[in-house]
Amino acid sequence: MPVIAITLDPQMIAVVKKRRTLILGPQDQGNLSIDDIRKNYNHERAWWNAIKPKMDSVEELSVPGPVRDIALRIYRPFNQNPRPTLLYLHGGGWVVGNLDTHDRVMRLLAQFSGAAVVGIDYALSPEHKFPVAINETLAVIQWLESSGRNHGLDPTRLALGGDSAGANMAVAATQLHHQRHHQAIRFLLLYYGAYGLTDSWSWQQYGNADYEFTREEKAFYLDSYLANPSDHADSRFNVLNGDIVCLPQAFIAAAECDPLHDDSVALHEAMRKTDRPAHLEVYPGVLHSFIHYSRLLDKATQALRDGAHALAKALG
């Protein structure tokens, strides 16, 4: 606790203390089943999502995917029709998370931006390993382009976004989609993603229990998600190895005290080197996953507002 007390925002410390009261049972993932890990995660996230910003409407539907039907949730803010559209991919290490664990995040992004936010309940690992979730995202993009207007969504003003694992997939899906449909996706909204670095300075500094993200957890998530050792270098995972020049403009948010901080810096630098417009915003004194905690953490609300305003400016 002394390291956290020195470096973290006081509100972030309050979040850490609150989270400890919400955790069910032991947290050593090596001794828990996948079902128990998800149960713990969902229970802890429920408190942060209990206060729900009002929407004009929220629609649940499903669309056909490559291996199963894909559940979607459309958040429509007030007084916008047809709406620019943000397809949002939740974080959770490709293993945990769903539309409910990120409900407040998506509602606030819709409220602050005026865009419709479409949450994708993509297939989780290890039941569905890489690249199933990316292929499902591509299927949703294709559905939006063919059928989105039937749901008040404007496919000509399309953004992809996500946090952590979701940010990784948002970049990967954009790179893949733009190989066939150049600049169909006009904006990326990215929160503390994993983009391909393996042993950065930020991992050395913050990859431990004091900062709530350990190397053991990283290995667990990657082992659960990736099917083969060669997948680590695949540009659909290591997006820094992908076609950076095909990316649209991006808002890249990083948490200062996060092992993945340097991934955001690396993506920003790669985009700058290829003359792609990108803005990097680093939020001081906060941990990975901080945008979840807007009930107690002002910087979470600010980061969501900053990203939403950048989205609105890009899409009109």
Q: Looking at the annotation, which residues are catalytic?
A: 164, 258, 288
The dihedral sign for the CA sequence 148, 151, 153, 159: negative
**Residues near 314 by Cβ (< 8 Å), separated by ≥ 6?**
159, 186, 187, 248, 249
Place of tokens 């090596």: 30
- Could you tell me if 70 and 140 are in contact, meaning their C-beta atoms sit under 8 angstroms apart? yes
Q: Which of 304, 313, 256, 316 is nearest to 103 (CA)?
A: 304
Tell me the H-state helices in 80-187: 103-113, 132-147, 165-178
Neighbouring-strand partners of residue 187: 159, 249
- Cα within 13 Å of Cα(234), Cβ side: 18
Burial of 101 (0-12, 13-18, 19+ CB in 10 A): buried
Q: Which of 310, 273, 86, 278 is nearest to 185 (CA)?
A: 86
Q: Which of 106, 81, 295, 94 is nearest to 189 (CA)?
A: 106
User: Running DSSP on this structure, what letter comes out for residue 64?
Assistant: E
In angstroms, how far is the first alpha carbon of the chain from the final one?
Answer: 45
